[in-house]
């Protein structure tokens, strides 16, 4: 699961890293997003918003500018990652996969699978919003903050997760205000933490947490869209929500400083199958087919491949990211 990290000045071989001569890259300064690519005073623009491409040819302190970080060689180097991972811990088998889809050139989804310090299993899926230069940055920030979560306080789990997401919302919002290139960035996030015989989960946005139990596919999290809010307020009939324009408008997400996440807990049973996904799956593949695939005799890896292939066969109009965890016994 470990990804090789490289500093921008090493990748570009520009001799302009921190302390290298008089011509210091402005985006390798202490005012940058230090540590965002796990380097000391790491190049903010070369990695995050792609401001430089020195290659040793530029004199002075400013380099050629790109219109989009998607054009930056270093950005592509950092984001070149495997599209699939498998993991087994004690009594749980996990598989995760992500696919860019057939419309977009970049993948703005992120996923995280890790065992926490207290041996709890953390799963998370984020979907960057907006489709602009910074659309995946918010998802990356959410992933990195989530990866730093070491344990879940006993007795106040759901309260802790709610506060964690609200703080993360404020953090992303502050970064968006601080850097013009990151303005209006936001992300969804759905996260589950399995400890012993209970699952604690939290959600902001419309990425989903499903549970397959005893042959039934249960959508545990609720899409935080304007359509669902209107249904709750009695201003829209439930049967109208799937076709109403407001189904595409998020009521909650991370990055605008006003997040009200939903969180809860439920017991886990032997044989449960957890599925977390971005909307690139369920907006392409209906729940009847999802249930059919999950209920098949295929391996987890084969099931996740079948889900992604089904989404692609129906247009693949968005990035597709899925995590599946089979509970063979409780932790």
Q: For residue range 12-58, list pLDDT tens digits in order.
A: 555 545 444 433 444 433 333 333 333 333 333 443 333 333 343 33
Domain boundary among 79, 106, 127: 79
pTM, entire model: 0.78
Residues 101 and 119 in one domain: yes
Q: For strands 208-213 and 121-129, give the pairing.
A: unpaired
The pLDDT assigned to 76 comes to 55
**CA 126 to CA 278: how far, in whole Å?**
7
Answer whether 52's CB lies under 8 Å from 45's CB.
Answer: yes
Residues 232 and 306 in one domain: yes
Residues 50 and 135 in one domain: no
Answer whether 20's CB lies under 8 Å from 41's CB.
Answer: no
Tell me which residue of 134, 225, 146 sits closest to 177, measured CA to CA: 134
Which domain covers residue 250, as residue numbers?
A: 82-327
Residues 174 and 313 in one domain: yes
User: 3-state DSSP helix/strand/coil percent for the chain, to nearest 5?
Assistant: 30, 25, 45
Residues 51 and 162 in one domain: no
The pLDDT assigned to 72 comes to 52
Residues 48 and 126 in one domain: no
| Residue 85 scores a pLDDT above 60 | yes
Domain boundary among 48, 79, 110: 79
Domain count, the chain: 2
Question: What 3-state class would DSSP assign to 1?
Answer: coil
Residues 260 and 118 in one domain: yes
Question: What 3-state class would DSSP assign to 34?
Answer: coil
Q: Write b or e for each residue in 114-151: b if 16 or more Cβ atoms lie within 10 A of its Cβ, otherwise e.
A: ebeeeebbbbbbbbbbbebbbbbbbbbbbbebbeebee
Residues 262 and 281 in one domain: yes
Q: Write b or e for each residue in 26-46: b if 16 or more Cβ atoms lie within 10 A of its Cβ, otherwise e.
A: bbbeeebbeebbebebbbbbb
Domain boundary among 38, 55, 79: 79
Determine how many CB atoms are found less than 10 A away from the CB of residue 155: 6
Answer whether 126's CB lies under 8 Å from 323's CB.
Answer: no
| Residue 227 scores a pLDDT above 90 | no
């Amino acid at each position: 699961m470990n990804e090789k990290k490289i500093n921008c000045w090493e990748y570009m071989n520009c001799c302009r890293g921190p302390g290298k001569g008089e011509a210091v890259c402005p985006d390798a300064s202490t005012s940058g997003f230090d540590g965002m690519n796990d380097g000391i005073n790491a190049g903010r623009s070369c990695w995050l918003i792609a401001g430089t491409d020195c290659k040793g040819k530029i004199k002075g302190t400013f380099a050629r500018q790109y219109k989009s970080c998607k054009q930056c060689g270093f950005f592509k180097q950092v984001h070149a990652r495997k599209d699939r991972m498998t993991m087994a811990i004690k009594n749980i088998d996990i598989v995760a996969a992500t696919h860019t889809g057939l419309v977009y050139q970049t993948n703005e989804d992120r996923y995280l699978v890790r065992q926490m310090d207290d041996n709890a299993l953390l799963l998370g899926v984020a979907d960057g919003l907006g489709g602009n230069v910074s659309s995946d940055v918010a998802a990356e920030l959410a992933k990195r903050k989530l990866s730093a979560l070491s344990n879940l306080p006993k007795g106040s789990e759901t309260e802790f997760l709610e506060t964690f997401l609200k703080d993360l919302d404020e953090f992303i919002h502050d970064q968006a205000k601080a850097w013009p290139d990151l303005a209006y960035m936001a992300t969804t996030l759905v996260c589950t933490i399995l400890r012993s015989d209970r699952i604690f989960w939290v959600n902001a946005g419309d990425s989903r947490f499903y549970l397959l139990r005893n042959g039934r596919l249960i959508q545990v999290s609720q899409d935080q869209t304007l359509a669902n809010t209107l249904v709750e307020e009695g201003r829209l009939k439930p049967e109208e929500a799937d076709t109403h324009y407001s189904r595409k408008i998020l009521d909650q997400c991370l990055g605008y400083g006003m997040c009200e996440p939903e969180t809860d807990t439920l017991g886990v049973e032997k044989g449960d199958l957890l599925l977390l996904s971005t909307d690139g799956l369920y907006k392409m593949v209906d729940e009847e087919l999802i249930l059919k695939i999950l209920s098949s005799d295929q391996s987890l890896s084969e099931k996740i491949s079948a889900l992604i292939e089904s989404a692609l066969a129906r247009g693949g109009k968005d990035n597709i990211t899925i995590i599946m965890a089979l509970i063979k016994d409780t932790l």
